[in-house]
Amino acid sequence: MTSLTWDQINNEMWLIEQAISRITGAYPAFFRPPYGKYNNLVLQAAHVRGQDVVVWDFDSQDSTGASSAQQKQNYDNAIAQHPSNLLALNHEVHETTVTETIPYAIQKLQAAGYRLVTVAECLGKNPYQSVGSPAPYDPSTWHC
C-alpha cells in the first residue's frame, strides 16, 4: 500500500471493509497493513476510517515456506527471549499452521505464563466499530 495514492489506499481499504461487512455484518476497528508495510498516508487513512493500525512483532514464517518444525523452533526462540508480550503473525490458509503450529504455540506460550487474548482485549478496545447483520449473498456484486 505504500506505493498507492490517498484515493487508491482508501479504495483498497473500502473494498476490504465492504467484504467484511457484507460477510459478517461487522465494521472493523483494526487494520493490518499487507506485508506489515505502511507509510504516513496509510496511517492517516486508517485514522480517518476510525481504525487502529496493528502490526505483529513475531512472524512464524509460515508464509515464506517454513516447515512446521521450523515454525515451532521460531516460537521456541521467541519465547526464550521472554518478551513481555508477543503479537504473532500466522496464516490460517496453511493447513500445518492450523493443525500443528498453532496448537504447539498455544501450549508453549501458556506453559511460559502468557495469557492469550485478542488484539482488541490487549489494547482495551472494541474489535468492531459497529456490528449489524450480514448482507444477503449477491453473486453479481460480491467479488471477494
Domain residue ranges in the chain: 1-54, 56-125
CA 72 vs. chain centroid, Å, equals 20
Pairing label, strands 26-28, 128-131: antiparallel
The kind and range of the H/E element at 81 are none
Give residue for cell 496453511. Answer: 94
Neighbouring residues of 27: CB distance < 8 A, sequence distance ≥ 6: 17, 20, 21, 128, 129, 130, 131
pTM: 0.83
**Encoded amino acid at 32, one letter:** R
Rounded CA gap, 62 and 96, in Å?
9
Q: How many CA atoms lie within 13 A of 78 on its CB side?
A: 22
Return the closest-CA partner of residue 31 out of 22, 102, 63, 14: 14
pLDDT of residue 92: 83
Alpha carbon distance 75, 61 (integer Å): 10
pLDDT in tens for each of the 144 residues of the chain? 999 999 999 999 999 999 999 999 999 999 999 999 999 999 999 999 999 999 999 999 999 889 999 999 999 999 999 999 999 999 888 888 899 999 999 999 999 999 999 999 999 999 999 999 999 998 888 876
* pLDDT for the residue 141: 83
